[in-house]
Amino acid sequence: MKRRIVLVHAVTVAIEPVHATFRDRWPDAELVNLLDDSLARDLAEAGDLTPGMHARFAALTCYALDIGADGILFTCSAFGEAIDAARAGAPVPVLKPNEAMFLDALEQGERIGMLATFEPSVASMEADFRAVAGGKAVLRTICVPEAMRALHAGDADTHDQLLAQAAPSLRDCDALMLAQFSTSRASCAVAAAVGCPVLTSPGSAVERLRALVAPGYSGNPALRFLSHAP
């Protein structure tokens, strides 16, 4: 039985990475995409989440439920508080972009690194991580905004190279997280530059959502890390 998974995007560059992950890990899921690509621009201009943005996330969640979602996955990491409010009381699993990745990383140790490319998302992600970690881990973050600019300009190779160049500063961590969904495309390049497991948001999220939604699926430990350094 197919399960309808609604993906809610705030940037177009997040779409293909999560679709690629579903093709690899849950190919029979029925995917529906909702895109409001003004959200990231509006957040960057406002500098913080506004009541209007909270209302928009509530509306997107209601729409996903109205069209029969069995699960909902938000793919933009800058809107944690709005997603928390929107998913309260939802009758199906609703995942924030990074919560599954945070849990997977914490199983690896107490020294966690994170590579990000979208500056407005960093504070929200760090707060979400601290809430999940409960003081049991230390997070070090490096943001490489020029990588996101390169990706938006169509230069994916430069995006990957910039992240790989930044990664060695975090090589002493127990696990390294790639913050945005769009950064997952750089996982192999990053893994080659560090000696710790590399996790991606879509990799962890798809595994967790499938375990929550698909009867009889308990997760595949071999797929929890998209890449390891050789």
In a domain, residue 228? The reply is no
pLDDT, position 228: 34
Q: Are residues 28 and 64 in the same domain?
A: yes
CA distance 52 to 74: 18
3-state secondary structure of 111: strand
pLDDT, position 219: 65
Q: Tell me the per-residue pLDDT of 84-127, one tens digit each, with 9 for 90 and over.
A: 999 998 999 999 999 999 999 999 999 999 999 988 889 889 99
The residue range of the domain holding 44 is: 4-96+203-221
DSSP structure class, residue 28: T
Q: Are residues 67 and 110 in the same domain?
A: no
Q: Are residues 127 and 83 in the same domain?
A: no
pLDDT, position 218: 67
In a domain, residue 168? The reply is yes
Q: Are residues 88 and 121 in the same domain?
A: no
Beta strands 94-95 and 71-74, pairing class: parallel
Q: Are residues 79 and 110 in the same domain?
A: no
16 pLDDT band, cuts 50/70/90, is very high
pTM of the model: 0.87
What tokens does 114 get?
A: 């994170």
Q: Are residues 62 and 125 in the same domain?
A: no
Q: What φ, ψ does residue 137 adopt, rounded to 5°?
A: -150, 160
In a domain, residue 229? The reply is no
Residue 169 sits in a domain of what CATH number?
3.40.50.1860
Q: Tell me the per-residue pLDDT of 46-90, one tens digit each, with 9 for 90 and over.
A: 988 999 999 999 999 999 999 999 999 999 888 989 999 999 989
pLDDT, position 229: 33
Q: Are residues 9 and 51 in the same domain?
A: yes
